[in-house]
Structures are given as structure tokens and as C-alpha cells.
Structure 1
Amino acid sequence: MFGECHAHLFMNGSNYRQAVNDHKNGVNTARVREHLEAYRACGITYIRDGGDHFGVSLQARALAGEYGITYRTPVFAIHRAGHYGEIVGKSAQTLDDVRLLVQEVRREQGDFVKIMVSGLVDYSGFGLLSEPALEKGWIAEMIHIAHEEGFAVMVHANGADAVLAAVDAGADSIEHGNYIDRECMAAMAERGCVWVPTIVTTRNLIGCGRYDDRILEQIYDMECENLVCSWELGVPLAVGSDAGAYMVPHGQGAVCEYETFCEVLKDVRREDLDGHLQESEAQIRRVFAQPQ
């Protein structure tokens, strides 16, 4: 089984408020162990966390070896104050604040830096995001600051403008990447930037009743088209499900994401797809490791 290249162990896949209550007064170790066991049961031996502000991912990393799992975490994600990201990290009013937070990641022995440069997909309509992307200069400087400190950079980005700005600035991986275009994918291919599309975050919502299935299916169809295009262009693709998000359970999320890759890329020989995913995961394992 492939690793889980994008997870949030502090979330539970069903109820965000309950997840917060589980950890707001201190890390709930029993819950962390429950999730780690779910990964072990699925044969998953590598997890790259997307961060949180409760210390859950740090505790998970400390315990993961008992489950035969290599665990990597940014400790928390960094977002610009007033923009999306509080759910998983800490805010920066200025770029000097970004530098201070990157230094905090180092003190906490984080393995890499994660930054947030756009909003979320707004499932109330096709093509909508919860907010515009950050300015190109901010995105470039956030990545530059992290790279100066020796960290790889995981970038939460949706929308063509945000993704292209991040890739051009040297992002090591793009997470989600909804509503991107061919130019974005060509740039990722050229620069060797890994794309972790987390397709099941949309697919698993279809039929749940929370959103209009017609909109969900339109978004999912677009994601599938982009996955096919990215394969044809040679974009490094990796399995990551955003495990912990609504309807994306720990362990099974990565299994479902891989099955989705196989279904969407059904005309690709399975050995070729597996080889590609293994190579991309190997790149993530190598790059997203604690700097010396």
C-alpha cells in the first residue's frame, strides 16, 4: 500500500467540533492511537501530516514508530492573518512574522514547512473558492523564507493563480489544486513539483446529502479531467487524501484515493501507474524530511 501523503490526525473524518473537543484541553492520546492503528490496519507505513495547532501531529510522530509508521509533520501550518488557515495553524501579520513562525517550526523540530495561500473549495457552486489567493509576492516570499531555513514547503493552494504562483516560487508540493489549468500542470511537470490532488475530498461527498450532488459531480469531473491531463504532461502525482476531513477516514482515505487514481487513469497500465506513484512518494519521503 502507498503512504498517506496528506493527513490531519487531529481531525476524525466525521465531526470537526468533536475533534476539537477531543484535543482542546490537551492531546487525546487514545484518539491518536486509534487513528494510527487504522493506518497500520491498512498497511500504511508513511504519513505526512498537514499540521494543527493542538500538538496532535507531534504526539502522533512520537508514537508512530510503535505502529511501524514513519511520520512527518510541519507541526502547524502558516497562514496570513485574516485569511484561511486558522483551522490548522498559526497566523502571520507580516513577512517578519512568517520568519518567526518558521523559526518556531525549527525549534519544535518540524520536518518541513506548510503554508496556506488560498481558500477552500466552496461547494455551493462550481468554480467558487472561499476567498481569493494571496498576492504573488507574499506567496513567493513565504516559500523563500522557508527554503532559506532549509525546509521543504508544502503548499495548500486552490485556483490557477495561487498554484502557478507557488510553483513558480519553488513549492515542493501542491496540495489540493482545484480549478487549475494546463499552464499550472505544465509548470509542475517542468519543475518536478509533486501534486497531491486529494480527489476523494470531493468524491466522498457525493450522495452524502450535505451539498448539491450536481455541483459535486461537476467539480469531481473537472478534477478527473485534470488528473488525466497531469498524467499526460508528466506531473509527479502522489497519494494523499486529506484524511480527517469530512467523509475521509484515516487509513481508508488513502486506499480510496489510490482506487480513484486507478479508476480515473484506467487506460494507464497498472504497473506504470504504481511505479509513478512510488517514485513521487519516494521524492516526498526524501524531500520532506527534517533538515539537518
Structure 2
Amino acid sequence: MFGECHAHMIMDGVSFREAAAKHRNGPDEALIRQVLSAYQKQGVLFIRDGGDNLGVSRLAADLAPEYSIDYRTPVFAIHHRGYYGGIVGYAYDSLKEYAQLVQGARAQRCDFIKTMTAGIMDFDHEGRLSCPGLPKQEVSEMVHIAHSEGYSVMTHFNGADHIKVALEAGVDSIEHGNFMDAECLSLLKETGAVWCPTIAVTGNIIGSGRYDDTVLASIHNRQLANIQRAFSFGAAVALGSDAGAFCVPHPQGILDEYEYFKQAVPDQAFLDARLAEAEVTVRERFKAGNVIMEN
């Protein structure tokens, strides 16, 4: 089985608030072990977490070797105060504070840096985001600081213009990446960044009654089409379901993600080979010290 390249151990696929509450007085080791065991039974032995602000992913990474799982974590995500991201990390007001947070992640033995640089989708209005993306200069400096410390950058982005900013800034992976256009897909190939579409996030909530299914289906089908196009462009696309998000439970999320990918790319032999290549890239790149220092 392939690895899970985008998960959140702190979430449970049902209710973020209730799931996080279980860790408020410290990470719940028994619960984390239960989830790790479930992944092990499914043969999912590589997990890249998106971080949290309660130490859950850090403990998960420490426990994971007992389950023969290679677990990578940024420990927490970093966002500009007033923008999206507080759900899984800490905020900064200046780039100096951002650099301090990078050092804080280092002190907690992070494997890479996770940044939140654009909003989430508005599931009631296609193409709309919860908040705008950060300016190009700021994103570029964030990437430079992380790379200078030897860390790859996993970044949360949606919206074609924002995604172009991220790719031109040199991020190492695009997470979610909804509403890409042809230029984004070309830049993916050109820059060598890995894309984790997390398409299970939309596919699994169609029919849940939580949002407008017409809008969800349109977003989902557009993402399927872009996955197909990304493979045709020769871009690196990895399996990452955002496991733990609403209706994306551990470890079922990655199995669902794979099924959606098969809808986009019916040639399974081709798909499996390309997914394996992308996972190797993620494994090699998202590990502390695996970035060539910038001049």
C-alpha cells in the first residue's frame, strides 16, 4: 500500500473540536497508538503529518517506529496572524517572528516546515476562498528562511494565482491546490514541486448534507480533471487525503484518495508507477537536512 502524504493525527474525521479536546491536557497516547495500529494493519507505513498546536503529531512520530511506520511531522504549521491557519499551528506578525517559529519547530525536532499561505475553499461558492493569500515577497522570504535552515516547505494553498506565487517562491509541495490552471500545472513540472490534491476532502462530503452538493461536485470534478492533466504534464503528484478532516477518517482516507485517483487515471500500472515515484520524492525531500542550502 502507498503511504499517506497528508494527514492530521489530531483530527478524527468527525469533529475537529471534539477530537482536539481529547488532547487538551496533553496528547492522548492510547488514542494515537490506536490510530497508528490501524494504519499498520492497512499496510500504510509512511505518514506525513500536517502538524498541530497540541503536540499530537510530535508524539505520533515518536511512537510510530514501534509500528514500523516512518512518520514525518512539521510539529506545527505556521501562519500569518489574521490569515487562515490557527487550527493547526501558531501565528507570526513579522518575518522575524516567523523565523523564531522555525527555530521553535527545530527545537521540537521537526522534519520540515509547514506554512499556511492561503485560505480554505468556500464549499458553498465555487472558486471562493475563506481568505486571500499572502503577498509574493512574503511567501518567498518564508521559503528562503526555511530552506536556509535546511528544511523543505510543505504549504497549504488554493487558488491559481496564489499557487503560482508559491511555486515561483520555491515551495517543495503544494497541499490541496484547488482551482489550478494550465500555468500552475506547467510550473509544477518545471519546479519539481510535489502536489498532494487531497481530493477525498471534497469527494467524501458529497451527499453528507453539510454543503451544496452541486458546488461540491463541480469542485471535485475540476480537481479530478487537474489530477489527470498533472500526470499528462509529467508533474509529481502524491497520495495525501488530509486524513482526519471531516468525512476523511484514519486510515480509510488514503484508500479513498487512491480510488479517486483511479477515476482520474484509469491506467493503473501507469498510475501506480507515478505515485510510487512521487512518494519516493516526498520521503527523500521531507526530512530534516535534505535541502541544499541556498546561497
Aligned to 2:162: 162
Measured after TM superposition, the shift of residue 124 of structure 1 is 1.1
* Aligned residue identity for 2:126: F
In 1, Cα distance between equivalents of 2:190 and 2:168: 10
Partner Cα separation in structure 1 for residue 245 and residue 37 of structure 2: 18
Q: Write the mapping of 1:73-88 to structure 2, written as runs, cut at 5 A.
A: 73-88=73-88
Matched residues in 1 for 2:145 and 2:212: separation? 41
Question: 2:276 — aligned with what?
Answer: 278
Q: Tell me how large the CA RMSD over aligned residues is.
A: 0.9
Residues 175-194 of structure 1: CA deviation (Å, up to 9, x unaligned): 00011111011001111110
Write the letter of the residue equivalent to 1:171. V
Partner residue in 2 for 1:121: 121
| Structure 2: distance between partners of 1:181 and 1:262 | 21
Letter in 1 for 2:271: L
1:194 and 2:194 equivalent? Answer: yes
Per the TM alignment, residue 122 of structure 1 is displaced from its structure 2 partner at its CA by 0.6
How many angstroms apart in 1 are the aligned matches of 2:52 and 2:174?
18
The equivalent residue for 1:289 is 287
The aligned counterpart of 1:172 is 172
**Residue of structure 1 in register with 2:221 after alignment:** 221
- Identical aligned residues as a percent: 48
Unaligned runs of 5+ in 2: 291-295
The separation in 2 between residues aligned to 1:229 and 1:132, in whole angstroms, is 26
Partner AA of 2:4 in structure 1? E
Supply the AA of the counterpart residue of 1:288.
Answer: F
1:62 matched to 2:62: yes
Deviation at 1:35, TM superposition (A): 1.1
Partner of 2:254: 254
> In structure 2, what residue type is equivalent to 1:214?
T
Q: Which runs of 4+ in 1 moved over 2 A?
A: none
Separation in structure 1 between the aligned mates of residue 209 and residue 71 of structure 2, nearest angstrom: 34
Q: 8 Å contact 2:201–2:242 — kept in the other structure?
A: yes
For residue 287 of structure 1, what is the amino acid of its counterpart? R
Amino acid at match of 2:279: E
Which residue type is aligned with residue 218 of structure 1?
Answer: S
Give 2:5's aligned residue: 5
Matched residues, number? 290
For residues 95-152 of structure 1, give each alpha carbon's deviation from its aligned partner in whole angstroms, at most 9, with x where no partner exists: 0011101111111110000001000011011111101111111111111110010100
Unmatched 5+ residue regions in structure 1?
Answer: none
**TM-score after normalising by structure 2:** 0.97
Q: Is the 2:200–2:248 Cα contact (8 Å) retained in structure 1?
A: yes
Q: Residue 224 of structure 2 contacts residue 260 of structure 2 at CA under 8 Å; is this kept in 1?
A: no
Contact 1:41 1:251 in 2 (8 A): no
Letter in 2 for 1:2: F
Confirm or deny that 1:151 pairs with 2:151.
yes
Which whole-Å CA distance do the structure 2 matches of 1:108 and 1:130 have between them?
A: 30
Task: Compute the displacement of 1:76 (Å).
Answer: 0.3
1:232 and 1:264 mapped to 2: Cα distance? 11
The one-letter amino acid paired with 1:259 is E
Q: Give distance in 2, aligned partners of 1:184 and 1:32.
A: 36
